[in-house]
Amino acid sequence: MASLRGHALIGQSGGPTAVINQSLVGLVERCVEHRDITGVYGALNGIQGIMDERLIDLGREAREELEKVAHTPAAALGSVRRKPTPEAADRILQVFEAHDIRYFFYVGGNDSAETAHLLNEAAIAKGYEVRLFHVPKTIDNDLACCDHTPGYGSAARFVAQAFMGDDQDNRSLGGVKINVVMGRHAGWLTAASRLARRHEDDGPHLIYLPEATFDRDGFCDSVEEMLHRHGRCLVAVSEGIHDAQGNHIAKGSEVDSHGNVQLSGTGALGDYLSNLVKTKVSAASRVRADTFGYLQRSFFGVVSEQDALEAREVGRAAVDVATSGDVTHGSLGIQRGDDGGSYQPVYAVNKLEDVAAATRLVPKEFMNGTNDVTEAFVEWATPIVGTLPQPGRLASHPVTRRL
Amino acid sequence: MASLRGHALIGQSGGPTAVINQSLVGLVERCVEHRDITGVYGALNGIQGIMDERLIDLGREAREELEKVAHTPAAALGSVRRKPTPEAADRILQVFEAHDIRYFFYVGGNDSAETAHLLNEAAIAKGYEVRLFHVPKTIDNDLACCDHTPGYGSAARFVAQAFMGDDQDNRSLGGVKINVVMGRHAGWLTAASRLARRHEDDGPHLIYLPEATFDRDGFCDSVEEMLHRHGRCLVAVSEGIHDAQGNHIAKGSEVDSHGNVQLSGTGALGDYLSNLVKTKVSAASRVRADTFGYLQRSFFGVVSEQDALEAREVGRAAVDVATSGDVTHGSLGIQRGDDGGSYQPVYAVNKLEDVAAATRLVPKEFMNGTNDVTEAFVEWATPIVGTLPQPGRLASHPVTRRL
């Protein structure tokens, strides 16, 4: 395929992650190096910024500051949740043409892959030549066609460390503690709580993913059983848990233009489950609930080094693929190489339409009944999340009673 | 004063912190060294464990594991929230006598100082010789007679890093974000959110402490003003905020034996404020609330090094004071030495009754009106919290419009 000369444009979209700026910087550093790319721009707030022609010149950023940006959580370009209408796609292509944009990289989740796909179809229909690539990110880890997504490892690490500490807290004061973890449809992030469990009596003692039906009575019975067994109970639940009819256990009221219901940014589910346990489980005296919320995706200072590295690499790989001319559009994804058992990430290109609006759920082999995950999940997740801190535990030699 | 030979007993009490085990290990390592101390025991779950005679021999713990325990959050001995009745105090002294306990160290907040005070009075009345010391800890930083308390620096660091990341998140997607921070009566921890603000437009844009009356209309007006000024608004509120009549803005229903109302472990206040803004502030489209909850005191992996060091030292200092014989009882506290401007912690002994059940509020000079804290607070807090990560920011050179 002939080479294509012109400017590159980068946008960020959807919920931010701790390492989404690593991908941004990976894209920028590769774009400025390539002879076919005549300039590298950023769109503020994703496609909204393109439509408003709010573009910035990323080629003029100082390298030192870019490196700091790479280590800063959330979207440095600003983000957006918006699906382009046909009119919006027309406007975006006009802006592309006006600024000679021949490479477009959109960093986001499956909604962003859908946006990239719609823009690609519009460009083909209009006969405008542009290389269009979706660069993956999502803490939910629910993108199709890949092993995992950048952003997940760091969020999973946050969840694991939070549960490690909260398990010690629950052990100190006893009772039932319920933690609500992000994940609308897929339980990958909630499953990561399992990494906190080392000893047999460590929490979380119960783990509820949206991949299984949530049964209120079964939940209360299991909490009671754990209280009897351990004298306490630490629970991980996904915000997306639902009953047999598919109704969310606690419903939000807001819906975005992709049709997603708001589940985060409210303590409703945690408070609901907490009241349920207080009412139905007689052995439960002290019941508390926390909703981890946005800290999971944007906490400054808890990052998986492997995740940060892969987020950077996937940005660089997108530029390499786009300029190679082998394909004109697609979605980058991380696969797991089979290198004699040792973990090795492999960067591959998938079709935009295969990733767009699809959701990859936690598979059966990672689920252990309706309220736990398997050792196979732990093995899968460990290289992505990295080595966790090591808690100490007193041997607790008893002193002989004298009274 | 004559030296006193006998066993030492250590207990932990109240809400755990990230560094309360540093104090435990500081106590143990000094106790095993001292010739007057014939053995060192731990009480499981504070005074509850003493009454039940559930004691462990801390002198038999391996040093290597103890060092790991020092770095593990929450109370390794287990904690309790219980105020001793006169009968309970009698029982505790019986157990002391049976095990020749002549040194008792109780690690906790002001309720634990009160417990130590009650036990000391009971021991004097009974004529039982024991050296009784309260070792401070609390993330709330609200103990009387000291500059700050072990546990605060690490919790403050967690809050500051959470706000640094969440400010980037709020910048990415806009709207109003409300974060509820722990602190029943005192706003020290909520004030720490201020450390996240570097540039003039950084959040948190509004900070509400329980030391000021919370006015619902004034709050909504301020949120609206910030939305106009910054296009977004990040808010820090203490869980303890109350109206002019002293009523909590969102009330919990549980009360412990010290008379403390449950405010944490529920998302009620965040959801209430979120709905208030949605209803009253017309400019607010996207409104979210997070309640940081127990992660603030027990997250595994975010610690202020200075806080960890001081928590260890205050435990060692307690043993030094107790064995010196200069005083028979008291509460350890950290003062700030005046060493030519550079920060220097000084460990001092205060009276148990002065610390018991007292609360040290954020002083006027640290408060900036009703919704911010001053630069003087930042200067005071910085050496305790330590150096925070440095965020990067794009220079954002605009591209000239062509359409």
What is the Cα–Cα distance from B223 to B282, expressed in whole angstroms?
Answer: 11
Please indicate whether, in this complex, the C-beta atoms of A300 and B172 are within 8 angstroms of each other.
no
- Write the CA distances from A10 to A164, A226, B165, B225, B397, integer angstroms: 37, 50, 22, 32, 15
Count of residues for chain A? 403
- Determine the average pLDDT of the residues in B282-303: 94
pLDDT one-digit tens code per residue, B94-123: 999 999 999 999 999 999 999 999 999 999
Q: Which of A71, A94, A391 sits opposite B68 (nearest CB)?
A: A391
3-state secondary structure of A301: coil
Class of domain A6-150+302-355: alpha beta
Residue holding tokens 């997603």?
A260
Which among B90, B399, B400, B402 is the top mutation candidate for probing chain A, defined by the most A β-carbons within 10 Å of its own β-carbon?
B399
Residue B256 has pLDDT above 70, yes or no: no
d(CA A209, CA A198): 20
Query: Rounded to an integer, what distance in angstroms lies between the CA atom of residue B150 and that of residue B326?
Result: 24
Q: Which pLDDT does position A253 carry in this prediction?
A: 44
Residue A258: predicted pLDDT: 61
Which H or E run includes B340? none
Give the lowest-confidence range in A1-10, A50-59, B203-212, B265-274.
Answer: B265-274
What are the chain B neighbours of A171 within 8 Å (beta carbons)?
74, 78
Chain segment A284-293, per-residue pLDDT in tens: 889 999 999 9
- Would you say A147 and A344 are in contact if contact means Cβ atoms under 8 Å apart? no
Decide if the complex's ipTM is over 0.85: yes
Give A155-300+361-385's CATH code, choosing from 1.10.10.10, 3.40.640.10, 3.20.10.10, 3.40.50.460: 3.40.50.460
* Cβ proximity of B5 and B43 under 8 Å: no
For all residues of chain A together, what is the average pLDDT? 95
CA atoms within 13 A on the CB side of B286: 19
Residues B235 and B170: their CA atoms lie apart, in Å, by 10
pLDDT given for residue B338 in this prediction: 75
% residues pLDDT > 70 (chain B)? 96
pLDDT tens string A339-361: 777 999 999 999 999 999 799 99
Q: Are the C-beta atoms of B79 and B14 separated by less than 8 Å?
A: yes
**Mean pLDDT, rounded, for B2-18:** 95
Which residue of A234, A254, A288, A300 is the best one to mutate when testing the B interface, meaning the one whose CB has the most B CBs within 10 A?
Answer: A300
Chain A CB contacts of B403 under 8 Å are: 53, 94-95, 98
pLDDT digits (tens, 9 = 90+) for A147-184: 999 999 999 999 999 999 999 999 999 999 999 999 98
Q: What is the spatial order of strands in the sheet that B345-350 belongs to? A: B55-57, B37-43, B6-12, B101-108, B131-136, B329-336, B345-350
Q: How far apart are CA A105 and CA A20, in angstroms?
A: 13
In this prediction, residue A268 has a pLDDT band, given cuts at 50, 70 and 90, of: confident
Asked whether the beta carbons of residue B266 and residue A267 sit closer than 8 angstroms, the reply is yes
Question: Which own/partner pairs from B324-330 qualify as long-range (CB within 8 Å, at least 24 positions apart)?
Answer: B325/B1, B325/B2, B325/B3, B325/B4, B326/B1, B328/B1, B328/B131, B328/B132, B329/B116, B329/B120, B329/B131, B329/B132, B329/B133, B330/B133, B330/B134
Residue A140 marked ligand-binding = yes
- Chain B residues close to A253, C-beta within 8 Å: none
B158-173 as b/e, with b when 16 or more CB fall inside 10 Å? bbbbbbbbbbbbbbbb
Name the phi and psi angles at A39, rounded to 5: 180, 155
pLDDT at B340: 72
Specify the pLDDT at position B284. Answer: 84
Omega before B204 cis (within 30°)?
A: yes
Annotated binding-site residues of B for substrate read 138-140, 182-184, 239, 294-297
CB contact under 8 A, A290 and B289: no
Inter-chain CB proximity B55 and A398 less than 8 Å: yes
- The answer to whether the CB atoms of B295 and A293 lie below 8 A apart is no
- B352-361, pLDDT tens digit by residue? 999 997 999 9
| Whether the predicted pLDDT of B253 surpasses 50 | no
According to the model, what pLDDT value does residue B250 have?
77
* Higher per-residue pLDDT: A113 or B262: A113
B313: pLDDT strictly greater than 50:
yes
- Under 8 Å between Cβ of A179 and A237: yes
* Burial class of residue B256 in the structure, from the number of CB atoms within 10 Å of its CB (0-12 exposed, 13-18 middle, 19+ buried): middle
Best of A385, A396, A402 to disrupt the B interface by mutation (most B CBs within 10 Å)? A396
Question: Which residues of B are annotated as part of the binding site for Mg(2+)?
Answer: 110
CB atoms within 10 A of CB A376: 13
pLDDT value of position A261: 57
Q: Say which residue the tokens 């019941």 belong to.
A: A287
Residue A84: DSSP 8-state:
P
Torsion of CA A254, A259, A262, A268, to 10 degrees: 90
pLDDT mean over A237-254 = 83
Q: For residue B194, give both structure tokens.
A: 């201020």
- Residue where the block lists tokens 């021949």: A102
Q: What residue in B sits closest to A298 (Cα-Cα)?
A: B165
B289 contact residues in A (CB cutoff 8 A) = 265-267
Q: Whole-angstrom Cα distance, residue B112 to residue A197? A: 31
The residue from B36, B57, B140, B221 that is catalytic is B140
Q: Which two tokens stand for residue A35?
A: 């002879």
| Of A255 and B304, the one with more pLDDT | B304
Percent of chain B predicted with pLDDT > 90: 90
CB contact under 8 A, A290 and B295: yes
Cα angle: A327, vertex A44, A314; to 5 degrees? 35
Q: Please report which confidence band the pLDDT of residue A209 belongs to, taking 50, 70 and 90 as the band edges.
A: very high
Would you call A300 and B162 a contact, using CB atoms and an 8 Å cutoff?
yes
Rounded CA gap, B372 and B236, in Å? 9
Contact B294 A177 (CB under 8 A): yes
Q: Which fold has domain B155-301+361-385?
A: Rossmann fold (3.40.50)
CB A235 within 8 A of CB A208: yes
Name the helix (H) or strand (E) containing A322: helix A305-324
Q: In B25-169, which ranges are E strands?
A: 37-43, 55-57, 101-108, 131-136
More confident residue, B338 or B20: B20
Domain ranges (residues) in chain A: 6-150+302-355, 155-300+361-385
Question: Residue type for A78, please?
Answer: G
* Token pair recorded at residue B215: 């006015």
Q: Which chain A residues touch B46 with a CB distance below 8 Å?
A: none
Please, which residues bridge with residue A39 across strands?
Answer: A7
Which runs of E-coded beta strand occur in B44-122?
A: 55-57, 101-108
Look up tokens 């000084």; give the residue.
Answer: B346
Residues of A forming the active site: 140
Q: A130: distance to nearest CA of chain B, Å? A: 19
- What integer pLDDT is reported at residue B261 of this predicted model? 57
- Please state whether the peptide bond connecting residue B363 to the residue before it is cis, i.e. omega within 30 degrees of 0: no
- CB contact (8 A) between residue A288 and residue B302: no
- Chain A: nearest CA to B329, how far in angstroms? 25
Q: How far is A39 from chain B (nearest CA, A)?
A: 11
Q: Kindly give the interhelix angle for B268-280 and B216-230, rounded to the nearest 10 degrees.
A: 70
**Separation between Cα atoms, residue A102 and residue B285, nearest integer Å:** 35
| Residues of A with Cβ-Cβ distance to B295 under 8 angstroms | 162, 165-166, 290, 292, 295
pLDDT at B76 over 70: yes
Residue of B99, B270, B299 with shortest CB distance to A161: B299
Q: Is the pLDDT of residue B209 over 50?
A: yes
The order of strands in the sheet holding A329-336 is: A55-57, A37-43, A6-12, A101-108, A131-136, A329-336, A345-350
CA B336, CA A134: separation in Å to the nearest integer?
A: 54
Rounded to the nearest 10 degrees, what angle do helices A268-280 and B268-280 cross at? 140
Q: Do A301 and B391 touch (CB under 8 A)?
A: no
Q: How far apart are CA B243 and CA B213, in angstroms?
A: 5
For B103, phi and psi rounded to 5 degrees? -135, 125
A87-122 confidence digits (pLDDT tens) = 999 999 999 999 999 999 999 999 999 999 999 999
Look at residue A299 and give its three-state secondary structure: coil
For A120-152, write each residue's pLDDT tens digit.
999 999 999 999 999 999 999 999 999 999 999
Render pLDDT for B183-202 as a digit per residue (tens, 0 to 9): 989 999 999 999 999 999 99
Percent of chain A with pLDDT over 70: 96
Distance separating alpha carbons of residues B15 and B111, to the nearest angstrom = 11
* Helix (H), strand (E) at residue B348: strand B345-350
Query: What amino acid occupies position A332?
Result: L
Q: How confident is the model at residue B63 (pLDDT cuts 50, 70, 90)?
A: very high
Identify the residue whose tokens are 């002549």. B102
pLDDT, tens only, B150-173: 999 999 999 999 999 999 999 999
Q: Which residues of A touch B287 (CB under 8 A)?
A: 265
CA distances from A206 to A222, A226, A372, B266 (A): 8, 8, 6, 20
* Number of residues that make up chain B: 403
Domains B6-150+302-355 and B155-301+361-385 share a fold: yes
By percentage, how much of chain A surpasses pLDDT 90? 90
The top-scoring range by mean pLDDT among A273-277, B180-184, B186-190, B266-270 is B186-190
